[in-house]
Amino acid sequence: MLRIHFNDADLARTRLAPAPDPLFEVAASMHRLQSSRGRWAYAGWYRAARQELREQGLERALRGVLLPLYPRAAYYPDFLTPSSGVEGLEAGVEALLATPAERVAEEVGMLDRLIGAPGWAGRLGEQGVRREFVGVLRAYYGAVVVPHQDRIQARIEAERAVRGRGLLHGGVEGMLAGLGSMFRWCPPVLEVAYPRQTQDRDLYLNGRGLTLVPSYFNWGEPVAFADPGLPPVLWYSLLHEPAARPLREEDPDRSLVNLLGRARAVALRAAAGGATTGEIARAAGVSASAASRHATVLRDAGLITTARIGSAVLHTLTPAGASVLRAARSAAGEAAADCRLS
């Protein structure tokens, strides 16, 4: 677990990034290529990415240059995803190139000790080698990320709309409390799920605030810099609830299923955090057209509202829908009780 400690100044300086972080999306997308975890959610992208890499002659560079530096493991070098990357690709690349050679050598050395680094990685401290590496990064980004930018940006904008609602209703603390199942806000600490192979750690913001960056390609646990001295950034997955969990007899949502049917109960539950039609379809295990029909029924009943944000359609709860969900679950005080008992 990662425990992020806030003070009043940190809450005032916490922000949600306005756009995806290109260099982090590069890293996370390479993890999607290396792991079958969550593959169902990226199946179309995976096929297209492999084809583009093959057609553009980038497979060898991917295997020999990129994947060894971005292992699907508990650590890869912080300098590969600089905090200024949230300002765009050029800002991120400029920061990567400006990283002091001593820091590059230290982080590559840590990678080598923990996972193993390719022999040539020690030369990344040299500007010429690093510029060649950046050229490979740009080619990869253009092949597998740029063709999907519209969808990625639409999902980020939908996420910002949902978090903005939490901010309006409860301030920054309300936004933090609604981040999803990978987080728990127990003031003044944000508890964050972290990879099992990583030791528990504490991050004290000390007035620096926190930049929250939604990521399209990240799957599962959020990611933070290994070095606590760097500007605090937390990248987190847009897919908080990748699949519907099975219902048991004691499940508080069973009454909702009895009332609405399983697919519509799942759709209503998904809309509590804001969900696109595609996300509802994946959560309920139904087709996109069936998910759209279920959303229409819930909307006509006054339980959800639908808004178009860019090319995405975002479904969120109405006050009536939120009341139905709360009544069905009968568990409104569980989170607060958990915090008191921690």
- In this predicted structure, the answer to whether residue 99 has a pLDDT above a threshold of 70 is yes
36 Cα distance to chain centroid? 17
SS3 for 185? Answer: strand
For 275-291, how does the pLDDT look when each residue is reduced to its tens digit (9 = 90+)?
888 889 888 888 889 99
For 132-159, how does the pLDDT look when each residue is reduced to its tens digit (9 = 90+)?
999 999 999 999 999 998 878 877 877 8
Q: Report if pTM > 0.85.
A: no
How many angstroms separate the Cα of 275 from the Cα of each of 215, 235, 295, 304?
15, 19, 10, 11
- What sign has the CA pseudo-torsion 175, 181, 186, 190? negative
Report the pLDDT value the prediction gives residue 240, as an integer from 0 to 100. Answer: 38
Report the pLDDT value the prediction gives residue 178, as an integer from 0 to 100. Answer: 86
Report the pLDDT value the prediction gives residue 338, as an integer from 0 to 100. Answer: 55
Please give the sequence-ordered ranges of beta strands (E in DSSP) within 222-285, or none if there are none. 223-224, 233-237, 275-276
Report the pLDDT value the prediction gives residue 309, as an integer from 0 to 100. Answer: 60
Beta pairing, strands 189-192 & 233-237: unpaired
User: DSSP class of residue 163?
Assistant: H
Structure tokens belonging to residue 149: 């930018």
Report the pLDDT value the prediction gives residue 312, as an integer from 0 to 100. Answer: 66
How many angstroms separate the Cα of 7 from the Cα of each of 172, 208, 231, 232?
12, 10, 16, 14
Report the pLDDT value the prediction gives residue 6, as an integer from 0 to 100. Answer: 98
Of 105, 61, 115, 116, the residue nearest 79 (C-alpha): 105
Letter for the amino acid at 213?
A: V
Structure tokens belonging to residue 130: 């690093």
Q: Give 340's contacts (C-beta < 8 A, 6+ positions apart).
A: none
Report the distance separating Cα 292 and Cα 232, nearest Å: 39
- In this predicted structure, the answer to whether residue 186 has a pLDDT above a threshold of 90 is yes
Report the distance separating Cα 294 and Cα 23, nearest Å: 37
**Confidence band (pLDDT; 50, 70, 90) for 331?**
very low
Report the pLDDT value the prediction gives residue 12, as an integer from 0 to 100. Answer: 96
Report the distance separating Cα 295 and Cα 280, nearest Å: 9
Decide: 209 and 9 in contact? Cβ < 8 Å: yes
Report the distance separating Cα 334 and Cα 25, nearest Å: 34
How many angstroms separate the Cα of 162 from the Cα of each of 69, 165, 276, 307?
34, 5, 11, 11
Report the pLDDT value the prediction gives residue 192, as an integer from 0 to 100. Answer: 95
Residues linked to residue 223 through DSSP beta bridges, in sequence order: 235
**What does the DSSP assignment read for 186-204?**
ETTEEEE---TTSPPEEEE
- In this predicted structure, the answer to whether residue 45 has a pLDDT above a threshold of 60 is yes
